Amino acid sequence: MKLWGGRFNKGTDQLVHDFNASLTFDKRLYSYDIMGSKVHAEMLARQGIISEKEAQEITDGLEKIEKAIKEGKLEFNSSFEDIHSFIEKYLTDLIGPTGGKLHTARSRNDQVALDIRLYLRDKIKEIKKLLLLFMKTITELSEEYIDVFLPGYTHLQRAQVITLPHHLMAYYFMLKRDFSRLSDNLKRVNVLPLGSGALAGTTFPIDREWVADKLDFDSVCLNSLDGVSDRDFIIEFLSIAATMIMHLSRLSEEIILWSSGEFNFIELDDAYATGSSIMPQKKNPDIAELVRGKTGRIYGHLMQLLTTLKGLPLAYNKDMQEDKEGLFDTIDNLEIILKIYPDMLKTMKVNKEKMKQAASSGFLNATDLADYLAKKGLPFREAHEIVGKAVLYGLKQGIELEEIPLEKWRELFPAKNNIFNKDMYHNLLIEKMLANRRSTGGTSPEETLNIINKEKIWLNKA
């Protein structure tokens, strides 16, 4: 079952075989391996390296194998080393010695580099689609919650009032950057390594540009050593994935906090929560916690590959077989999370009253009052100092700024008594505070809607 038995006097030790083999995980590349092989065979025939008839036999054989695998009729037998040996061996069993011509002008080194690029290219496109759906959901929810507001936090201390859509759209923009990073990554994934041979190119008159065109690659790699040993495009993908799951983890953390009894801002739908085996009252945000937990694992995959590659001399080394499992695991996890999250957000109950309550106490209008005084001509620093003192007074009395009567302001700050006016209370109302933050990218409902509408146009074109 080996592609390289000729030079050896005896077979491989069983444990060594198992340790060396990658079929258990690279089997998922089978359709990409076959896709690449078919185009390779066609190119060999076009170039007169094999006959048209031989290429046709090879293509027919590969198609039969693909169908048999798809239908579950051909099992991945563990006596094979990897997906490449597996397919080649079955091809030869099926069509005879002609099958052995497929590997002309090719090595498993450029073959595996091709397969992984074809696979990752498809997966990036899928993930981009899922991201767009998620982003669309966020814009829809933002429109739905346009009049909902809550405290915005810094240091997890209540800071200023913001709208819920403003908060949600912050995640939209994180995902939009991830989307753009993936588009950029795709450019470097979409370069053809096939034709690099084992490491030095090939003596056969191959046509790499034709193969690239057939397989929809933008270009061919221009150094065969680099072609077989470059895994930067996977590192780049993993680093984007790490950034993406970091974003999802921050969202998860807020979902976890917000669904706690202390916040009680949201309640997850039963379909997206779990219970406790001992405490009957519990409803836990396990899914969000698991996403937060998966983040460590995906960072690990990035670190693993960086470390695996750092000491490798050119060109191919078997260490590079370790590029796959972490990548596959990252993609599997991202795909499932991106499928779950939009619906989890769509179905969660938003507790508007609780958010409103939290936004109504804790001096969230202190900045607004300082701004008001500054607009009356007071240097902002002095305004800040005055409001800070007023907050101290409010804390002592157990009242909010808007509950301090006008006479009290004048009494507390006699030197500035003419600056305090009835109209200042108006600026301390939540609706007014929100509406006043009209600066580009600010939280006012007007500006938030403006941005949502712009992004909806972008989404329709993306």
Interface contacts to ligand ARG, rule CB under 6 A? 22, 26, 82, 108-109, 112, 316, 318, 320-321
Residues forming beta bridges with residue 158, ordered by sequence position = 153
Q: Helix (H, G, I), strand (E, B), or coil: what is residue 13?
A: coil
On whether the CB atoms of residues 251 and 264 are closer than 8 A, the answer is no
d(Cα 35, Cα 121) in Å, to the nearest integer?
A: 14
Q: Residue ranges of the alpha helices (H) in 215-312?
A: 224-229, 232-258, 286-310
At closest approach, how far in Å is the CB of 263 from ligand ARG?
Answer: 48
Rounded to a whole number of angstroms, the minimum distance from the CB of residue 108 to ligand ARG is 4
- Residue 265 CA, chain-centre distance (Å), reads 26
Find the radius of gyration of the CA atoms of the chain: 31
Give the whole-angstrom CA distance, residue 290 versus residue 297.
Answer: 11
Nearer to ligand ARG, 315 or 404 (CB): 315
259 in active site:
no
What DSSP letter does each residue of 325-380 carry, written as one string? HHHHHHHHHHHHHHHHHHHHHHHSEE-HHHHHHHHHSSSTTHHHHHHHHHHTT--H
Amino acid at 187: K
The residue (of 26 and 447) whose beta carbon lies closer to ligand ARG is 26
Task: Count the Cβ atoms, other than its own, within 10 Å of residue 85.
Answer: 19
Type of residue at 450: N
CB of 20 to ligand ARG, least distance (A): 9
Choice between 22 and 365, CB closer to ligand ARG: 22
Distances (CA, A) of 169 to 71, 322, 441, 452, 456: 44, 38, 10, 8, 12
**Which tokens go with 12?**
């491989």
Closest CA to 341 of 167, 135, 37: 135
Q: Which of 180, 260, 276, 361 is catalytic?
A: 276
Shortest distance, position 309 Cβ to ligand ARG, whole Å = 13
CB atoms within 10 A of CB 195: 24
| 2 vs 354 by CB, closer to ligand ARG | 2
Specify whether the CB–CB gap between 248 and 299 falls below 8 A: no
**Residue 444 known to be catalytic:** no
Cβ closest to ligand ARG, residue 318 vs residue 422:
318
Question: From the CB of 113, what's the least distance to ligand ARG, in Å?
Answer: 9
CA end-to-end distance (rounded Å), the chain: 47
| Candidates 155, 252, 301, 384; catalytic one | 155
**Are 52 and 351 contacting, i.e. CB atoms less than 8 angstroms apart?**
no
Residue 164 tokens, joined: 């819920």
Which of 36, 285 has the CB closer to ligand ARG? 36
Q: How far is the CB of 328 from ligand ARG (least distance, A)?
A: 12
Would you say 16 or 271 has its CB closer to ligand ARG? 16
Rounded to the nearest whole angstrom, what is the least distance from the CB of residue 55 to ligand ARG in the complex? 24
Helical H segments across 106-163, by residue range: 108-144
The CB-of-199 to ligand ARG minimum distance in angstroms stands at: 10
For ligand ARG, the closer of residues 56 and 317 by Cβ is 317
- The residues assigned a catalytic role are 155, 276
